[in-house]
Each structure stands twice: as C-alpha cells, then as structure tokens.
Structure 1
Amino acid sequence: MFQAHINVEYCNSVKSIKYICKYVNKGSDMAVFQIVQNSEQNNRNDEILMYQMGRYINSNEAAWRIFSFPIHERKPAVQHLAVHLENGQRVYFTRDSARKIASEPPENTTLTAFFQLCQTDSFAKTLLYVDVPIYYTWDKTRKIFQRRKQGMPEEGHPEIMKADTIGRVYTVHPNNAECFYLRMLLHEIRGPTSFTDLRTINGYLCQTYREACQRLGLLENDNHWELTLQEATLIASAEQLRELFAIILTKCNPSNPKQLWDAFKRSMSDDILYQIRQTNPELTIEFNDDIFNETLIRLEDKCLAINNQALVELGMPAPQRNAFSVLNYEITKEKSYNVNELLEYIAHNKPLLNDNQKKVYDVIMYRIINNTGGIIYLDAPGGTGKTFLLNLILAEIRVKKHIALALASSGIAATLMEGGRTAHSALQLPLNIAEQQFPVCKISGKSGRGQCLKQAKVILWDECTMAHKKSLEAMDRTLQELRKNSEIMGGALLILSGDFRQTLPVIPKSTPADEINACLKKSHLWSQVQILQLTKNMRVELSKDETTAHFAKILLQIGEDTYPTNQTTGLIELNSDFCNIATTENDLIDKIYPNFVQNYTNVEWLFQRAILATKNNVVDDINFNILKKIPGEERIYKSMDTMVSSEESVNFPTEFLNSLQVPGMPLHCLRLKIGSPIILLRNLSSPKLCNGTRMIVKQLSNNIIEAELISGKNKGQTVFIPRIPLISSELPFQFKRLQFPIKLAFSFTINKAQGQTLKYCGINLKEPCFSHGQLYVACSRCKETFRPHYTGNSTGQKISRKTLELVDEGPKKMV
C-alpha cells in the first residue's frame, strides 16, 4: 500500500525521546563520495575529516549540548582493583627503558597503595579492599588513594565522604592457588598493612595464604569433620556422638570415614562399656572388639533410619550381625510399637471422636479390614481434628502388628504423627521430579524400605496438597512394581489428607496455571480418588465461644475466597473484628514479643510465638532486628562456597557466591546468639531433626551448634548440628555451600509455617501474598482465642477462587 518501510516507535520511557526526535529530524539517508586519481597520496583516508563532514547535529542534540547535559553516563562507576602476590605486580617496559626500570622499585598498584593507606589512615583500617573506592579516589599519576572531596558524609564520620562507586577485584583462576587464596583473604580481612599482615591470623604468621584461609575457616577440608567430632566429645554423650557421626556419614560424605571411626570409637562406646560394667561389677572390663561391634550395630541402625544406608555403603567397617538384620531393620522398627501403650491410647481417644470424625473413621477402617486398596483423600480445614484422627487410625493398625506408614509433605506435619517421616525422605523421591516425564521412587525391592512398602497395610500422607502430582504418580509406579500388582497403588490403601485452601506445590518462576497444573487434582489418578470431609471445627465446639466461631467462619471465607474484597484493588482488607492491627513493623514485634529481654530465656514463651512474612528478605530483616535485643556476644558463622565444577570458578568468584540468597539454603553470614530460636532447613535425622524443627541455641562452638528442641515429641532433648554441604538446584549453575542448615526463627516465611501451630502469631504483609493460600495459611496458624496481629500495606490473596474452582474438579464422593 505505502510501498515503503514504516518504522513505528513505542515511547515507553523518557530515554526514548532523544532517539525518537533524532530519528524523525535527521532527514533521508545520504552518502558522500569523491572521485580522485589513483595515487598513494589521494588514497589516504582521513577518518577525522570524514566524521566532521558527515556528522549531523539536530536541534535536540544541539540544545542538550548547549545546556551541558551529560552525553555519556556510567552509574555506578566501577573501580578495578589489582590483585597479585608480593613483588608480583606487572612491570611495563621497552627495550630502551628496561635497565632504568629494573634499577627502580616497581610502581604502586591499587593493592600496595591500599596497604600503605591502612598504615596511615585509621578509617581505612576498618575497610575491606573492595570498599576502598567508596570513600577514596585513585590518583593514576601519583599511584595513591585520596579521600573523596565530594559525596555524602559517612554516618559517624562526617569528615569522610562516600560515593556509590563499586570496587571489583580482578578474578583469579584457582590453578593460580596462592593468588586465588590471597584474593579470598582480601574479601575477609579489614585494614591489612602488608602482605605479611594479611597472612597473620590471630597473631600467628601463616606460611601460605591457603593456610591463612584454613585458619579463618574459609576452606573445606578433611580435617573439618575431625574438628567437629573433637568439639562434640567435650559436651556430648556417647549416644549423641553416635547420632552426630551418623549425620556426618549420611549427609556430609567425609573422604576417610574409617579414620574418623578409629579416632572416636572409644568416645562413641562409653555408654556401652558403662552398662556392661554395671551389669558385671565383679569383672574388670575394658574396651574390646565386642563393645566396638555393638557400637557399630547401633551406628548402622541410625544410618539406616536416616538414609536407608548400611555402614559398608558409607565406607565404614561392617558390624558382625545377622545378614538379614539390616534388611529387616525397617520392618522390625515398624512392628516394634508397644501394644499396651497403643491399646491404652485407643481406649482413651476413640470415645472422643465426634459424629463427623466417627463417620470418616468407620469408612476408612472398613476398607482396611476388607483389604480394599485405592486412594482416599481426607479434606480437613484447620481445627477439625485431622491429626487426632490419623494417629488413632495408625494405632488401630499397629496394635495388630500390621505395618502402617506415616508420611507428610512437611517436616513439621511428620513430627505430629507417631513414626512420621517426610515423603521425600521415606519414598526417595527425585529432587527434580517436576522435570522428569515418568519419575519413580529410588527404592530397591530388596531393601528394607522396599519390604516395608510391600507389606504396608495402609500408607498415610498428610499435607499432600503441597506435593507435586508427579510425586503421587511416582509412588503409584513404584508400589505396582514392588507389590507386583497392576492395580492403583499396587493394591495398597493410600490415605491422603490436607487442605487445598492452603499453599499448592512451589514451582519456581511459575504462573498460576503452572501451580494449578502441578497440584494433585490434575493427576490422572485423581479420578479414582474417594473424597471424605471433616467439617466440624473441634476448637469451636470445645471453646463454645462466639468469638472463636466468628474467627473460624472468617478464616474459612478467606480460604474459599468468599470474604469481601476492596472493589478498587481487589485485595482482602482485614479489620479489627478478625485480627489486631499493628501500625508499624516495630509495633508488630513489640506486640508479639513484649518485654523481650525479660522473657526470651523462657523456652515455652518463645515456642508460642512467631512473626510470618511472605518473602525471605523481610523475614531476615525481622530476625536481625530482634536478635539485636538479646544481650551477649553475637557469633558469625560464614559459609564455605565453591563451584561444583572448578572450571567455572573464574566466572563465579567466591564473593559472588557468598552474596547469593537461595530459597531453602542458609545465609552466607549466619548471625547467632545463645538463647536465640532457630529452625532447621534440612532433614538430618527424622523424626527428631527434620525440616522445620524449631530449637533454642544453647552453645556456639567453632564447628558445631548445641541446641534444645522446643517442638515435636522430642521436645526438651539436646541435639548437635554440624555444618553440611548443600547444593541448590534453583540456579542455572551448581554451587556448594557448607554451612549450618538453620535460620533464625523469630520470624519465618508463611510457606515454612505450614504445619506449625502458634499461640501468638504476627503477620507482616509489607510484601503482599503472591501465591494461592498464603493468607489463609498465615491466619490459620494462630489459635482462634488468640487473634493474629497484622501489619502491612495490603493483604493480597492471589489466585484464590479461580484456583479453588480449578483444583476442585474431580469426584465428589463426600461423607
């Protein structure tokens, strides 16, 4: 139609205007040419002259230059910083100047100038090498650092000016080992005055920079596990030491476990020797092979419980025991519940079932008694007595010496069921299950766990709504293979329980459609599920309080997205009828943790309260603010971060890895004080130490943390937490972080809170809810008689009603 190229520009920012105006006003394309004779003189190409002749300045650019507006911009400015060994700086010379330069001392580099600056400037002594460009400029002529004369004054030092300049130390390949470790020290040591001072750690002059890094705890080495066990022997019992060693064997992959065993086997066997001496006081008994063998048996039992691995698989000597005892360990464990205690539990709790619970109980028990396999889903909102009912069903099966497996998607939910374990740990589900087309569980039919799944009468899976649909499908394939049965779940009865009003599977960088597609109701197995419901709120019935009933009613409306929303924003607005409103973040902290200094030593007081938020950065800020209130010295533990592939170390320097805050991983700088609450981020030894377990710090050593459990059935017990290697799958590259798998727990994320019950709950919605069910989960953590405290700008409940409509598709066999 137009017979021409048409360029349509979309002005989406102010910076586009200059380009648009220039493009419109520059006129048509033109070229300049000249015909000259073919000679060397005429063929000279004067590029400067050609540029001046062809240059075009329109009115906009002319006005811009007249007003002296900046033509080029670099923000923030970057100052490159040299790194080299002593007398290893580069020297530039020509053939004529070589002798003169050789006779003179080499010129200063930014590194040697930094050392000189720290010798004379007290403020520079407080800085890291990379921080110097913020407060000092580099004089290229005199080769020295000078204080900035312009900028913003530094807080507490009004004479010091600062800018937003970034210091970048040149990267070094790990093959250039000493220079690589020198660079690492420059990012850790403040105000060094020389290369020698940089190698001096706590008054000791190290021979190499690598040794200095090791003394600072910046490097992982085989000696780390020995130091960990050495510290533990001073404060831990033999039983605790065996548990710690089992965690190291199964989670940390030490290079020489036999050497560790030989060094600490006496300390791990103390209690066994003591028991034998008490039983046989007339005999003189010392450590012998039989005692060590018994220690190995107990150690192997712990390793089997943690990761289903025998000692010989972990590079340890195998104990002398019945060949079938390892395979039978899981079955023996599942059939070893005390029958008398179970009978007493059933007799006491069965009469307490309400009509709704009794109806569900009868349906489930009928299918168990008649060996009718398949899948049952128990829909149970908070407060309806789901955990109470599940534990009663487990007791009914175990009292008859049948196997009933208790699984849960979260560690906290697993601890609430007798013998509970996380589903990922018990079923050995693949970590990248969402990426696999037909995933299966990594369980051998000959293993003890495989035998348990074969013989299981029933399998319970709590908080199933958090699980990916492929987890259920992987379980189905595995059970069919193990049980040699093509029926659904291999003919076993699987009881799923949960609440689709809560959070759905976490899919990184996903859309609402991705979350919906990943939930269990989108699995091809869901069409064969029988659905049961618990509807009566036991807390309301027991309290007989109108306020409690009102709270439960509004909570259910939030979960089902029937609660009124703001017509303008579409967001839920909570009012004082439902919760207590805090005006600021500090106000929220004061209301949840009143009279903190007087009360923080009370373990029960700390256990009853927490502040929930949507994102980790908000959680970290709250935790650090409250930690400052605890009197005493703060201990900082820095992680050891390395690339899994050493070839990529140049592209991802250590300080960059240190700066990464990956969901589910501890921070690089872990700040703790004695008395601070912490939460576990990994399953170490289920069910005692599982993901989500809350503890109180009792002692802080260099390589181990002593803590007291404040949640679960093992409440009050002392445990020891080592550093463990953690590898994230959230990033496009793999790096390993060696750190204590814990975080401060004054505050934690809403997703981490699922399964927790709090007496006093604060909800910080400075960052609004971004996923289905988050607001419902946050509000339902609190008991109705103690309304949650809330602060924030909005209470967005994203993808709620639409999500519920989509995930509610399926069979409607309700009880």
Structure 2
Amino acid sequence: MVTFDPTENPAEVMQRAANERTTLTEFFAANRDMSRRGDEARKYTYQEFPEHFVWKPEKRWELRKSELLRLEGRSRTNACVASSIPDAIGCMYFVAPSAGERFYLRTLLTVVRGPTSFEHLRTVDGVLHPTFRDACLALGLLEDDGEWRACLGEAAVIQTGTCLRHLFATILLFCQLTRPESLWAEFRHNICDDLHRRLLLAGRGHVSDKEVYDYGLYLLDCILQQSGRSLRDFHSMPLWTRNWTQLADNPLIAEQLNYDVQHERVLAEDRIRQLNDDQQSAFNQIMDSVQHERGWTFFLDGPGGTGKTFVYNTLCHRVRSEGWIVLCVASCGIAALLMIGGRTAHSRFKIPIDGLTDGSVCSITKESHLAGLLRVTKLILWDEALMQHRFTHEALDHSLRDIRNSDAPFGGITVVFGGDFQQTLPVVPKGTPEEVVAASLPRSYLWNFIRNEQVDRVLRLRQNMRLDAGVEEAEFAQWLLEVGHGRNIADNGTIAIPNDMCCRDIKELADFVYPGIDGVMPPPEYFLDRTILAARNTDVDDLNESILACMAGETRTYVSADSIENSDGSQEERVNEIPVEYLCTLMAPGLPPGELSLKVGCPLILLRNLSPDRGLCNGTRMILRRAGDRVLEVEVIGGQFHGEVAFIPRITLTPSGKDAEFTFTLRRRQFPVRLAFAMTINKAQGQSVRFVGLDLRVPVFSHGQLYVALSRATSRHRIKVLLAETAEASRAINIVYPEVLMD
C-alpha cells in the first residue's frame, strides 16, 4: 500500500513496498499464532497494531515491553521502553480512492481486527468475497444501493406491513436511491402484506394484487406527504392510479379528526376537575379565544413541574371533543412526545433549518394538504418555545397569514406558546449573551400581541406538581426558583450545592443512576426513569461509552461509510489527501459517531425526524431490541408512542449549518442514533425523570442550564451532582441573564 511519486527513485519505492508487504504478512502471522502473542494480536486492527507491538530487526512483530508488564499485572509506569524500540511504525501509507483495490485493502485494515490472511480480510459472515471492494460493501464501508436491499430483506424477516411502509418511506427520503422502483418491485409483497385484508374489511370484494399494490403506493404517498414530499419527487417510482382519496379527501385532516368525540369529552371533563386554580384560569382564557375565534396569542409561563403539559393535553381533549382541530408541537422531540399528537415544530410546519432570517417562510404551498389542514385549525400549542430562535415563530406567522388570507397574527388561529424563562434560550453559535437574548421570543414583534400596555396574555403557573409532597420538597422547590432567578450567586459566579446532593467520582454517579446495569437486561422503564446530564457533547460521549462498557451483553460496532461532498472539481485533489479513517473520527453535534458501538437493550436517542407521525423525531428516546447488519429494531420509550416498535436504517447525513465545524462538507452513512445513557442538558429540557446524575466537572456555560438540570428530577434525594476536583467546596457555576426573566 505505497503511494508512488514520479520524482522518487524507483528502487526506493520498490524497497518501501517490499517492507510494507513484509510487515503486513507478519501481522497476519502474528494473528495466526496460538500463543499469548496471538491472543493479544487478534484484538487489534493493522492500524492499531504498532501501539501494542514493536517491529524487530529479525522482521517479526513482538509485544512491547509495556504490554508485557500490563499482562503480568505490573504498572505501565515502571516500563522504560522508549529507548528499546528499534523501529516503531506509527501509521500506514496513505492510499487515494483512485488506487482501486489497494484503497479497499487499506480500508479493511483500519476496521477488521485479527485477520490472518488476505482471504480472511475478504471474508464477511462466512462468505469469501472475490475482491476487497466487495468485502467493503458487505461490511457497509462504502455507499451502495445494495445496502437498502439488505436492509429491507432483514426487516421483512422480522415484520411486514405498516412498519415496512414507513421504513421504505424513510429510505426514499434520506438514502438517495438510484433505482427505487426496483426495490419496490422486489419488496412490494412484504410492504403491502396487510392491505389485502384491510381492503376486504373496507367492503371491497375480489381484491387483486394489482389493487393491493396500488393502495400500497397511495399509503406510501401519504407517509411521504407528512414530510412535505410525494412519490412524484422520485421520478422512477410508479404512482397510484385508482381514486383512493375517497377514503379521505385530505389525509392530514382525516388524521386529526380520527378521534372518538364522546371519549374525548369524557377525558376532558375528568382532567378539568383536576386543574388547580392557575391551570383553570389559563384553560378558561384559551378556550374563550378558541370558542369565539378571537385569534389571541398567549404565553403559558411556568417553572418546570408546574403542569404545562397537563394543561396542553386537557385543551387537546376539550377542543377535539367539539370535533375541532388542534395541532401540538414542541421545540424538541422529547417534549413533543409528551403532547397528544405532538410533533416537533420544524417537522409539522416545514420550518427551514438553515438560513433563517426575519423574512423566512415555511415550505408550505397553498395547494398542499398541509395548507388545507392549517386553514381549518382552531388552536396551535407550542411547548418549549423559548428554546428556538424567534425567526422560527415569525416564519410560521408569515406563512399562516398568507395561507389563510388574513393579516391577523398567525392568520387568526389561537396560538399558545409555552415555556419557562429560567430555562435555556436559543443556541446562537459563538454568540454573546446580548445576541442570545436578541434571538429569543420576547424580542420578536410577536411579543407585542402577547404583552403590551393594553393586554397581558402571559398565563402564569406557580404550583409545582412534579416534586414529591412534603416540607422538605417545598423547600427544594423554593431553592430551585432561587437557582433559576440567579439569587445567592457569589462574586465568582457560583452557588452552593447541598452536600447530600454531591458525589465523589464518576463511578459513584453512574452507580447511583444505573444500579445493577452489569446484570440482567433491565426493562425499558428502567431507562425511562434515569439519565445523566452534562453540558458538552464530548462529556456526554465519554459517559455513554463508559456506561455501555459496564452494561451486560455483546457489543456490536457499526463503522460508517464516509466521504466528502465536492462542491466543484477543484475539491477533487483535496479529497484524495484525506484518509477515510480520519473522516471516521470526526464528530459534530448533528452527526452520529463514525464508530457506533451498541448492545441490545441499550438506550438510544434519535438524531433526525424520520417519521414524526409515529414518534420518530429528533430527540426521541428508544431501546435497541435487535441489532441487524443493515437495520436496527427499536422500541420508543416515553410519551404517547411508548412501546411503539420501528425500524431504523442507515442514512446519509451531513452536518446542518449550525453544526458544521469543518472546512469541507462531510457525508456520513450511519444509523442516525447516539447512545442515551447520558445526554446534554439542552436535549433533556421538557422531560422529567426519577433519578438524575449531573456531571459538572465541566461547568455550565449558558443561561438556565443549571436550573434545567436540577429541575428534571422529582425529589432532591434522587439527584447527585459531580463537581470538578478543583471546584470550591460544593459550589457550582450558575449563569442567568436577568433581562429575560419575567417579573
């Protein structure tokens, strides 16, 4: 695997090639060794090998002295081996993709552990492939349409019908197929497996296969329309030809009206009786606007645990009991799942993710089904609204005024924003506190419709319903409010953390939150009630890896297929200079890791809106039920979709504008998930759990983060905080922007 430079001496090039081949064949020989040397050798890839083995003058690999000492149980610090290494080989020669089989051989050597021969490298799951490229394809290290065939084949063995239709729609939306019609033709029998019976029950007699497949295409089209696309966008896909729209002129409206009105009325009456005084007052004012079509805009303000979600869902039942339409959205997936019929705001309203300005509009055409739905909507509930840039709310206002032909705010729809000014604000990359505040909802022109000199439609909730009852918990609730309002902050920006809430090290923190994780696989509810929070993504990744290592079960590691997306031909030379193993190590907040290690039963968090109508939103928490080669079977935990089973394929992702950290555009084909033993504080906003661990070895850095982290648990006795060793005794940094707090 030697690169050739025309200016080099040919004899030197040939000698270097011979040396490289010798070290590689001896690497194979070391892996075939049945002694202790071979047991150790088989743990590593060729790229990792020189870190643990040394190349001897007699042309063979031997364990480094430091490794021998480690195996014998002695400290590595006692080994002075630096001077005894005659020839330490630090890395493989770079090979460009244009080098063909040599490039694919090098790629395999970066991921396959313990190969014993070139043939072994080409063997995947017991199958000897004719070329190194074929082996790379079989391992999923390259982008190829055959992956989706394998993905659907795996999923078809497990389930058919609805799950497969959503999986096929996800592949169409995210995987850039070259011939989607061939996959449809091959798997349409499985995708439409349940439709013959459904059509018979609908009263259609003598249903042919052609009708079944046509109805399947119609349902697939409906799924795609949930994401603003249709079958017509995939030019080679067949289109449905029969008039299935008689089942619903607008499937989005039909979905929102698919409720038992009498049952909704019973649920509404039951929940209304449970409202406290603040909740009842807010409920009455909102319903007055809905019933009389006043089109008012409200803000439901309440600290974490005061029952905002309970008010939202009570309003949902009441509005739906009248046969009206209410749309529930939130700024994050976790909060959306807690609302009945909830979706993320971006997925529901097609709000642009990148390039938002004060004049942006949503990607909704006036002739679309979504526009038809918005024309008949009575109420919009938007939770955790303060987390998003004010331009997102303004984009929806611009679009609704146009769609509904009205100059009233949001086209005359009653809108309720919700949140807590003590919690986190919009993320402004590298923004100053002033820029963050300027991006928040109270700095929008929309705030004038909520609060001005004439009106005050800020609805306040003050009674904490989340914390356990008792004098001690009431004191804890008061302390949380002091944290949120930035009281008792010392000159160095810290506040005191009660000693009984502090722990000594990361092991104590992990054992507190996840006791017994090294034993029998816990049920999904175990992970639903527990989480560890940290301020930075890098700290979260480290925590996730360490806890996964403690969890019982076999680890499966999935390596991504990475490449660089060329903007023009001038980038080609640069692409050939970047090794694929380097691309695999790159991390960005919006991307899954290049090497994704999982165990069956581990908690995951979804990184993309794959199927919002089934709860698969950015931020959805899931449990891994089955780990296939090309598909993950997962179970949603929490919210209205708790227990829902779905398939997750590998998709091609690029960092969004706010996540882009590189001077080039990275394309990564990987499962769009991350481990979720731990998560960032911002990601956890909107949910409550019983046990919380807070890793503050790296302190919080933005408004409201400490308050959000401390207010996730239902009792002070179920929170543990790990502070930096250098931190002042039991004190943590707290950042609060007073100018955004409501009086």
Corresponding residue for 2:190? 267
What do the CA deviations read for 1:758-804 (whole angstroms, capped 9, x no partner)?
Answer: 0111111121111111111111111137531111225644540xx23
Corresponding residue for 1:370? 292
Corresponding residue for 2:250? 328
Trace 1:155-304 onto structure 2 (pairs within 5 A): 155-156=70-71, 161=81, 167-190=90-113, 198-201=121-124, 204-274=127-197, 288-304=209-225
Q: Helix, strand or coil: the match of 1:389?
A: helix
Q: Is the 8 A contact 1:109 1:143 kept in 2?
A: no
Q: Helix, strand or coil: the match of 1:417?
A: coil
Tell me the distance in 2 between the aligned counterparts of 1:299 and 1:597: 42
Q: Helix, strand or coil: the match of 2:97?
A: coil
Tell me the distance in 2 between the aligned counterparts of 1:293 and 1:118: 56
Q: Helix, strand or coil: the match of 1:658?
A: helix
Q: Report the CA distance between 1:242 and its aligned residue.
A: 1.7
Q: Report the CA distance between 1:509 and its aligned residue.
A: 2.7
Q: Is the 8 A contact 1:609 1:761 kept in 2?
A: yes
Q: Is the 8 A contact 1:135 1:161 kept in 2?
A: no
What do the CA deviations read for 1:588-637 (whole angstroms, capped 9, x no partner)?
Answer: 11112223345642332232111111122222222222222333321111
Q: Is the 8 A contact 1:107 1:143 kept in 2?
A: no
Choose 708-717 or 121-130, whichever is displaced more: 121-130
* Amino acid across the alignment from 2:20: L
Q: Helix, strand or coil: the match of 1:430?
A: coil
Q: Are 1:804 and 2:738 counterparts?
A: yes
* Amino acid across the alignment from 1:344: V
Q: Report the CA distance between 1:471 and its aligned residue.
A: 0.8
1:705 to 617, 632, 640: 632
Trace 1:587-626 onto structure 2 (pairs within 5 A): 587-598=508-519, 600-626=521-547
Q: Report the CA distance between 1:587 and its aligned residue.
A: 0.7
Q: Report the CA distance between 1:273 and its aligned residue.
A: 2.9
Q: Are 1:406 and 2:316 counterparts?
A: no
Tell me the distance in 2 between the aligned counterparts of 1:599 and 1:149: 38
Corresponding residue for 1:719? 646
Alpha-carbon RMSD across the aligned residues, in angstroms, is 3.3
Corresponding residue for 2:601? 675
Choose 529-538 or 768-777, whichever is displaced more: 529-538
Q: Helix, strand or coil: the match of 2:639?
A: coil
* Amino acid across the alignment from 1:678: L
Q: Helix, strand or coil: the match of 1:450?
A: helix
Q: Report the CA distance between 1:411 and its aligned residue.
A: 0.9
1:391 to 297, 313, 319: 313
Tell me the distance in 1 between the aligned counterparts of 2:274 and 2:220: 41
Tell me the distance in 1 between the aligned counterparts of 2:337 and 2:145: 34
Name the structure, 1 or 2, with higher relative contact order (CA <8 Å, separation 6+): 2
Tell me the distance in 2 between the aligned counterparts of 1:166 and 1:424: 50
- TM-score, normalised via structure 2 length: 0.87
Tell me the distance in 1 between the aligned counterparts of 2:125 and 2:468: 61
Corresponding residue for 1:117? 26
Choose 225-234 or 478-487, whichever is displaced more: 478-487
What do the CA deviations read for 1:691-724 (whole angstroms, capped 9, x no partner)?
Answer: 2222222211111111222212122232221112
Q: Helix, strand or coil: the match of 1:255?
A: coil
Q: Report the CA distance between 1:453 and its aligned residue.
A: 2.1
Q: Report the CA distance between 1:504 and its aligned residue.
A: 0.9
The change in CA–CA distance for 1:108 and 1:694 in structure 2 (over 3 A counts) is: closer
Q: Helix, strand or coil: the match of 2:90?
A: strand
Q: Report the CA distance between 1:728 and its aligned residue.
A: 0.3
- TM-score, normalised via structure 1 length: 0.79
Q: Report the CA distance between 1:725 and its aligned residue.
A: 1.5
Q: Helix, strand or coil: the match of 1:604?
A: helix
Tell me the distance in 2 between the aligned counterparts of 1:780 and 1:762: 12
Q: Helix, strand or coil: the match of 2:328?
A: strand
Q: Is the 8 A contact 2:199 2:207 kept in 1?
A: no
Q: Number of residue pairs matched?
A: 705
Corresponding residue for 1:548? 473
Name the larger-Rg structure.
1
Q: Helix, strand or coil: the match of 1:270?
A: coil
Q: Is the 8 A contact 1:228 1:703 kept in 2?
A: yes
Trace 1:57-136 onto structure 2 (pairs within 5 A): 83=2, 108-118=17-27, 121=30, 122=37, 127-131=44-48, 134=51
Tell me the distance in 1 between the aligned counterparts of 2:91 and 2:16: 20
What do the CA deviations read for 1:720-750 (whole angstroms, capped 9, x no partner)?
Answer: 2111211103223211111111122222111
Tell me the distance in 1 between the aligned counterparts of 2:351 and 2:256: 21
The change in CA–CA distance for 1:520 and 1:116 in structure 2 (over 3 A counts) is: same
Q: Helix, strand or coil: the match of 2:640?
A: coil
Q: Is the 8 A contact 2:521 2:552 kept in 1?
A: no
The change in CA–CA distance for 1:165 and 1:395 in structure 2 (over 3 A counts) is: farther
* Amino acid across the alignment from 2:370: R
Tell me the distance in 2 between the aligned counterparts of 1:728 and 1:517: 25
Q: Is the 8 A contact 1:114 1:129 kept in 2?
A: no
Corresponding residue for 1:742? 673
Q: Helix, strand or coil: the match of 2:494?
A: coil
Corresponding residue for 2:429? 508
The change in CA–CA distance for 1:212 and 1:597 in structure 2 (over 3 A counts) is: closer
The change in CA–CA distance for 1:354 and 1:116 in structure 2 (over 3 A counts) is: closer
Trace 1:630-779 onto structure 2 (pairs within 5 A): 630-645=551-566, 647=572, 648-687=574-613, 688-729=615-656, 730-731=660-661, 732-779=663-710
The change in CA–CA distance for 1:747 and 1:774 in structure 2 (over 3 A counts) is: same
Tell me the distance in 1 between the aligned counterparts of 2:373 and 2:647: 30
What do the CA deviations read for 1:172-196 (whole angstroms, capped 9, x no partner)?
Answer: 4433333332332232234667656
Choose 231-240 or 104-113, whichever is displaced more: 104-113
Choose 546-555 or 595-604, whichever is displaced more: 595-604
Corresponding residue for 1:479? 400
Q: Report the CA distance between 1:234 and its aligned residue.
A: 0.8
Corresponding residue for 1:557? 482
Q: Are 1:534 and 2:460 counterparts?
A: yes
Tell me the distance in 1 between the aligned counterparts of 2:123 and 2:146: 21
Trace 1:15-94 onto structure 2 (pairs within 5 A): 83=2
* Amino acid across the alignment from 1:308: G
Corresponding residue for 1:69? none
* Amino acid across the alignment from 1:401: G
Q: Is the 8 A contact 2:303 2:462 kept in 1?
A: no
Trace 1:392-471 onto structure 2 (pairs within 5 A): 392-434=314-356, 436=357, 438-471=359-392
Corresponding residue for 1:311? 231
Tell me the distance in 1 between the aligned counterparts of 2:167 and 2:48: 40
Choose 454-463 or 223-232, whichever is displaced more: 454-463
* Amino acid across the alignment from 1:461: W
Tell me the distance in 2 between the aligned counterparts of 1:150 and 1:716: 52
1:784 to 715, 727, 735: 715
Choose 458-467 or 188-197, whichever is displaced more: 188-197
* Amino acid across the alignment from 2:108: L
1:517 to 432, 438, 442: 438
Q: Report the CA distance between 1:154 and its aligned residue.
A: 6.8
Tell me the distance in 1 between the aligned counterparts of 2:230 and 2:28: 58
Tell me the distance in 2 between the aligned counterparts of 1:756 and 1:652: 41
Q: Is the 8 A contact 2:517 2:552 kept in 1?
A: no
Corresponding residue for 1:47? none
